[in-house]
Each structure stands twice: as structure tokens, then as C-alpha cells.
Amino acid sequence: MFEGVLVTTSSGLFASFVGQGGIFRSRDVLRSTYTPKELPHREEQIQELASVLAPALHGETPSNILIYGKTGTGKTAVAKYVGKELEEADAGSTCSVIYLNCEVVDTQYRVLAHLARHFDKDIPMTGWPTDQVYSEFRNALDEKKRVVVIMLDEVDKLVRKGDDVLYNLSRINSDLVQARVSLIGISNDLKFTEFLDPRVKSSLGEDEIIFPPYNAEQIQDILEQRAELAFRPGVLADDVIPLCAAFAAREHGDARRALDLLRIAGEIAERARSQMITEEHVKAARDKIEQDRVEEVIKTLPTQSKLVLYSILLLEEQAARNITTSAVYGMYKQLCPLVEVESLTHRRITDLIAELDMLGILHTVVISKGRYGRTKEISLSVHPPKLKSILLQDYRLKDLANFSVPTQARFGPV
């Protein structure tokens, strides 16, 4: 307790929140990090993965496995579930399961250091030669007879920075005397192995398991199972779960999106002091998720793409009609010197506009001009003030906040 600080639950800023019962029992049940005791509609994949890993219980080396499937098809949940069951079934405590998310642990050094720390080796975050980190991990692993299953979630993110770590891990058994290692790679990208060294590809993909998307009825079953644990009785309107399932089924059977929808709908209802979660809360949650997704995409765009967007934004602010690629390129050429960026070619800007169209940030329509050829008319799909706010969060674009278009350029041909 800090001196002079009085803690109370009966008054103050959070008093109204503490006093109300709330609609949640446990909102964490609706997060992707939660592993349920039962996984509906994934019995076949669970059995298949368990049968591949079963030799570990006899001290034998399981095959390496690649697990594929779109986002939200239960890949990670099944892998964690089977891994937990494997450790619980291991009476001799000779099996270990290590889970790594390669979006976070994304370099060979970090992967090897993380694995070594699992066996109580003190490895610094940086500074050692990679060979030394590998040796520390290998030696720690080989101190006693055991089988270690290493799960590499989003393994394709790791491959983008080179496949050295996969090469080393897929061949580590030849350097071990007592221990054995089995790898499980989990990916949304069915084609990522095309970029692998053929030797890594053959050893990593000894077995493959494909996870099909869920349909709306299956997603509804998953939501009903989780909702029973997540919410207090009687707080869900009858149409909430079917609506969440329907929205998610349109997104290629993404159960994770359905769970996010249900959780965020509950949070919106709770903040509004509502006693029930209704269809309107689900629709508000859908809008919020979509807005957050678009915002995150815009924030992570390269500087050149952001300049293209800012150019279109300025043209819209001028009330320019029929914004074309040529008009965008003209504005873009004015902005580049202001942020000390070398301008790209007209053709490359056309490609960037097409990419932004695919991301849903802007909308293009091809217009025929008869014997003068064809052109694209461009409009923004994001509310302009919101887009401007997001773009100006980039320190490289802050100098554009006060940029005004020269008068002669304002209403030129577009």
C-alpha cells in the first residue's frame, strides 16, 4: 500500500462499475488465447494430431507436422489442446511441449534463445553468436532422455526472415544423443513452403493436417459453448449468437472473428449499462472491428502508399470531381519533396492505388474515354477526417498537416 493513498470500493471513479453485477462471468473465455476443454467440430483433426504425437509417450520421435488452415479455423486451439493432453498422459514426465508465436519471436536468435530459456539457460536478448545460442539449447535439451515437441505458430512469419532456424531445428536430432525433437508448424499460408529450402521442406512436412473453415451452424455451436461460460444467464437476446455466426461465416468461417464479435458486443452493452446483449450491439461490434482493422492496415502501410492516400485525401478536400490516377500522381509529386522522399514512377503509383483498392481503403472504377483510352476514377472508402488523423500519426508525414495546395493546382484537370 502506498502511503497517503486510500483504496475504497464504495465510492469514487469506479464505484458504479463495482456496484453493478455486470453481464460477464468471464470475458477471457471469448478470447483466442483461451483453450477450451472441448473443441466442437474438430474431433477428426484432434485424433489425427494425437496419433502423430503418440510415439512420444514411448520415447520415440514423432513425425514433424505442418498444420494449415485459414484464420479462425481452430489450428492453434487444437495444437495447444493436444499438447496439453500429451503432457498430462505422460506418466514418466519425459515429454515437453513448447509453444512459440513466430509473429512475436521472429528471428533465429530469438527462437533459439527462447527455447534455451525454457530449459533454464540464461541467454541474453542479443549479443551472442547464433551458433553459441544453438549449442546452449542443444546441450540443455540433451541433458536427459526426453521428447520435446516444438510448436511454431505462424511459422510463415519466421520463414520471411530466412529458413536457417528451421533448417537447424529440423536436423537437430542428428546432433542429439538422449533427447528427441518433433516440430509442428502452424500457418494460414498454404504456399509458404514454396520459399523453403527443399531439404527443409521435406523434413518439416513429413505429415500435413488441413483445417477446413467452419460453416455458420458449426460456429453457432462454438459460440453457444463459450457463451455459457462467458455470460450470466439470460443476458443474450435470442438472435445474438445466430447473427455473430452468420457474420463470421461470411468471413470464410472465422470462429475467432465470431468470438471477438460476441465479446465486443458484450462490452458495448456493458458500457451502455444494458442488461441484455442485442442485435444492435452485435452490429456496433462489427463496425468497431472493421474500423480497427482498417486503422491497423493504414498504420502499417509503407510511406509511399501513405503519400498516395494523402494525395487523394487532399484532392477530396478540394472537392475535386472525378479524381483520376493522373491527378493523384500530380499531387503526390508535390508532396514527396516536403517529406524528403524520392518519387516513384506513374506506373508504380498506379500499382499502389490498385493495392489500396484491394485492401478496401479506397475504391476505383475504370471509366472509358472513347478514343482517349481508359482511366480510373478514385474515391476513399474511409471517412476523410479519420483517415487524415491516422496518416498524420506517422512522424514522417506530420509536416504535411499545414500543407495547402497552390491555387493554380486546386481545380486543374482531374
**Helices 240-250, 279-299: inter-axial angle, 10-degree rounding:** 30
The rounded distance, in Å, linking the Cα atoms of 8 and 251 is 45
The answer to whether the beta carbons of residues 380 and 312 sit under 8 Å apart is yes
| Paired strand residues for 151 | 99, 184
- Distance between terminal CA atoms of the chain? 65
Amino acid at 268: I
Residue with the three cell numbers 474511409: 382
- 400: its cell numbers: 504535411
The rounded distance, in Å, linking the Cα atoms of 338 and 341 is 8
Cα 68 from chain centre? 15
Binding site residues, as ranges?
73-77, 214, 226
The rounded distance, in Å, linking the Cα atoms of 145 and 148 is 10
**Any alpha helices (H) in 275-393, and if so which ranges?**
279-299, 303-317, 325-335, 346-358, 384-391
The answer to whether the beta carbons of residues 21 and 261 sit under 8 Å apart is no
**Burial level of 114, CB count in 10 A (0-12/13-18/19+)?**
middle
Torsions phi, psi for 182 (to 5 deg):
-125, 135
* DSSP structure string for 133-166: HHHHHHHHHTTS--EEEEEEETHHHHHTT-SHHH
Binding site residues for ATP, as ranges?
73-77, 214, 226
